[in-house]
Chains A and B, each alone.
Chain A
Amino acid sequence: MNIEAFYSINAESRLFWPYIVSSFFLAVLFVKIIKPSKKIKILHLFSKKYWLNSSLLIDFKILVFNKFLKIFVILPFEGILIFKFTKLSFTFLKVEPLFTDTSYSLLLMSFIYLFVDDAFKFLQHYMMHKIPFLWNFHRVHHSASTLNPFTLYRLHPVELFLASMRRILVTLILSLSVMFVFGEFLTFPKIMGVHGFYFLFNLIGGNLRHSHLPVSFSFLEHIFISPAQHQIHHSKDPEDFNKNFGVCFSFWDKICGSFKRSEIDRNLKFGLSYSDRKDLNSNFEFLLLSPFFSFLKNLRFIILKNFISKCILKDSFTRKGAIK
């Protein structure tokens, strides 16, 4: 494991210390200068209630569990799979690059990467909400009743695996297209080894998305998802359900009709609705296993339903027919 293994000093992680520090200063600026509401105070960020609660403990437990899974299973698997597919493509697809002048490709690749990656993130997130089977897993993330920077990592391992699949797909689509179009490796402007845009995204308050500070981007919310908009996404108010799925850009939500602008004065409560919460509890092991229980329960129900419709009801129809 190399030095990048450490969250706080790895620029790829949102818990990289400059991101945390910048988020804190932005939070102070937001509260002191914009003064959105008297109810919002910077001291809330240091309150016992905010940091010492069962939701945060679950965040930590899931985070540690997932990191081991990621280090020992997901990342090596991801690396091998992408390498094998890339190698296969280079072996069998020998095409001359379409463009030989690649002087402009760096910027172009950077934007293409940003849009495609964000579009796939949106798509995955959308599906996690809309497909009941996937929602079983994603609701673990939404079960957080307090939002803090660690909530980002509160994911069911199955969702972690699906995110890995998404990364494999995006990497292959982009890197192979770039190689075949420009004859170059997919690359983009980086700051400390991170895509320049994501670095800035994290530096200018990426961590505030999972916080209780409703930082709004005003009219820019039509282009970029603001922390306040993401907080609406986590709201347990039924009016906010299935809104703002986007990560960086909000126009995907506009296209899919799930866009909602932020309202600063709202006092949002986070977590799941009663119907989603009823079979979840704050026990870590149960949280990880419950999606499977729900799935089995549904499966049992479907099998039973099919059995009833195919055998029992059919029989009764037949009998009825016979009676006739």
Chain B
Amino acid sequence: MKYSHFFLFVITIIGCGDAKLTDTSSVSTKNFSSIKYIESLHKNHFLVQVDHVLDSVDAIRKETSLCNSKKGLTTKVSTKLIQAKWKMAMSDFHLIAPFLSSGVLSFDTVTENAVLDKLYRGGFGTSLCEVQSKLSGGSVLTDGDKRLLGFNVLEILIFKDLVSENNCLLGSDNYNRIENWLLNKSLESKTREVCALTDAVAEKLEETLIKTTLNSFLDDLQSRNILSSAFVLQKLYDSISVFSKNTLLVKKINQPLGIDSKLCPFENSTCPFSVEHVYSDYGLQALKENFLGLQILLEGLSASDEDGGNGGLYQYLSVNNQGAVALDLKILFDKIFKMFILIEDQEMVYFDMVENINGAEQKLKCTESTFENPIVPLCALSKVTEELSKVIDIDLKAALAVSLTNIVDGDGD
């Protein structure tokens, strides 16, 4: 055998198959496994955050167990504790909310809407506007309406002294109606009602989250992954897409700013979804936490191989020659967090920032605001989020469609 013959034989056997060039922007050139990606997120992020939420809920329920005795919420200390714990629980919940938008981690069994349905009627789809109109029209409230109302009342009561005095919810007709409906009672029964309500909501949250984490998630994932690893990425994409557009952009940013808000325009400030949708500093913090949660979902976790981590969607895109889209997303997240810094530096409460936007002159400034020229940082944040939503809606979808179809080989026969 000629040496050249032998050399060619060896390199063709071991090398240069149907290779794909990885982008230079790729963090790692390891193989990407969608199952490892989701498992790692589940184990190292989702379960950890759920544990935190459950710890807080446990602490709340220890306090609210007093409801069973006739004492009710008697001491200020317990109220403060409940407030602090509830705030903490919700803060952890915001970080996992993007994972639940399309049941990516629980595969349809428990979605964010299912979680929230326990707390709000029909999830975010139904706003207090409807309940408010029912109340003002003298209609009979359904159990769902009452639950929605109850949760909001609970949040209002818990956050009453945590949020800004300018909180539109507290000063609204809606709030007065809620107070009249639920709280036009003696102090004792009022505190007992609130205590019982808190306990019920905490119980629902606990039950739902435990169900979410104890479902046969991994078995489900394994069995579906055998059929198609693309299924996991499909679910992931759906979750990211729904969350970026509906929750972040429409419900939490544009609606408060009065941009394209069909359900509850800013002028009708009596209709926020809940306390975290009210333009309080708490609401702003919740928004930031949601963005962080979304970023974690996209980036994955840089866990070691032993922990089952192999990078996230950005790595998947890079490995599949779609690193440019990953880079676009990274840049947009950088911009978003820079905008948050600007907003936080404004030394103005969120409510005032939003209210300030509503004059004609301010609206013009709002329209002119961009990331490069953030005259009104909130409006610039809205623009960047819109851009993010568009990249997710078109570029990411196209990149995933291309890489998932992945017809390789079959050059000839």
* Contact of A75 with B20 in the complex, beta carbons under 8 Å: yes
B398 neighbours in A (Cβ, 8 Å): 83, 86-87, 90
B27 at the interface (CB under 8 A from A): no
Interface centre among B227, B319, B321, B408 (most CB of A within 10 A): B408
Could you tell me if B227 and A159 are in contact, using CB atoms closer than 8 angstroms? no
Q: Is B175 an interface residue (CB 8 A)?
A: no
Per-residue CB contact flags for chain B residues 224-257 toward chain A (1 = under 8 Å, else 0) read 0011111101100100000000000000000000
Which of A10-18, A289-297, A302-310 is the interface stretch? A10-18
Contact A5 B16, CB 8 Å, known A79-B322, A163-B412, A186-B404 = yes
B411 A163 Cβ-Cβ under 8 A: yes
* B405 CB, min distance to chain A CBs, angstroms: 5
Contact of A185 among B11, B30, B405 (CB under 8 A): B405
Q: Which interface residue of A83, A125, A159, A189 has the most chain B CB atoms within 10 A?
A: A83
CB pair A7–B12 under 8 Å, yes or no, is yes
- Cα of A230 to Cα of B412 in the assembled complex, Å: 12
On chain A, the residues within 8 Å of B8 by CB distance are 57, 60-61, 64
CA A119 – CA B366 in complex, angstroms? 55
A182-197 vs B, Cβ < 8 Å mask (1 yes, 0 no): 0011111110010000
CB distance from B246 to the nearest CB of A (A): 16
Q: Which of B14, B18, B229, B401 contacts A175 (CB 8 A)?
A: B401
> Is B413 in contact with chain A by the CB < 8 A criterion?
yes
- Whole-angstrom distance between the alpha carbons of A75 and B21 in the complex? 8
Question: Which residues of B are found within 8 Å of A179, using beta-carbon distances?
Answer: 397, 401
Instruction: State whether A5 and B413 are in contact (beta carbons under 8 Å apart), knowing that A87-B394, A87-B395, A186-B401 are contacts in the complex.
Output: no
Contact with A along B303-342 (1 / 0, CB 8 A): 0000000000000000111100000000000000000000
Tell yes or no: B15 within 8 A of A by CB.
yes
* A63 CB within 8 Å of chain B: yes
Most buried by B among A72, A86, A117: A86
Residues of chain B within 8 A of A152, CB atoms compared? 411-413
A-B contact count (CB 8 A): 181
Residue of B nearest to A63 (CB): B12
Q: Are A15 and B17 in contact (CB under 8 A)?
A: yes
B5 touches A52 (CB 8 A): yes
The residues of A that contact B360 with a CB separation of less than 8 Å are none
From A3, A68, A154, A190, B31 is in contact (CB under 8 Å) with: A3
Q: Determine how close the nearest CB of chain A comes to the CB of B340; give it in whole angstroms.
A: 29
Residue among B15, B397, B413 making CB contact with A6, cutoff 8 Å:
B15
Distance in angstroms between the alpha carbons of A174 and B17 in the assembled complex: 25
Q: Does A160 contact B (CB under 8 A)?
A: yes
- In the assembled complex, which residues on chain A have CB atoms less than 8 Å from the CB atom of B14? 6-8
In the assembled complex, the CB of B95 is this many whole angstroms from the nearest CB of chain A, namely 27
Q: Is the CB of B404 within 8 A of A71?
A: no
Which residues of A (78-94) have their CB < 8 Å from a CB of B? 79-80, 82-83, 86-87, 90-91
Complex partner residue of B228 from A7, A170, A175, A188, CB under 8 angstroms: A188
Q: Given the complex of chains A and B, what is the CA–CA distance between A171 and B15 in angstroms? A: 27
Check B16–A71 contact: CB distance below 8 A: yes
Contact between B21 and A1 (Cβ–Cβ < 8 Å)? Answer: yes
Cα A125 to Cα B411 with chains together (Å)? 10
B348 in the interface (beta carbon within 8 A):
no
Which residue of A is nearest B409, CB measured?
A12
Interface pairs A-B: 8 shortest CB-CB: A5-B19, A7-B17, A187-B230, A60-B8, A86-B398, A87-B398, A67-B16, A79-B321
Question: Can you list 14 A-B pairs, Cβ within 8 angstroms, ordered by A?
Answer: A2-B319, A5-B16, A8-B13, A57-B8, A79-B321, A121-B413, A152-B411, A160-B412, A167-B407, A171-B402, A171-B407, A185-B401, A186-B405, A193-B406
19 new A-B pairs (CB below 8 Å) besides A175-B405, A179-B401, A198-B409? A1-B21, A2-B29, A2-B30, A4-B17, A4-B18, A5-B19, A12-B17, A13-B17, A52-B5, A60-B5, A60-B8, A75-B20, A76-B21, A79-B320, A91-B394, A117-B410, A164-B411, A170-B407, A187-B228
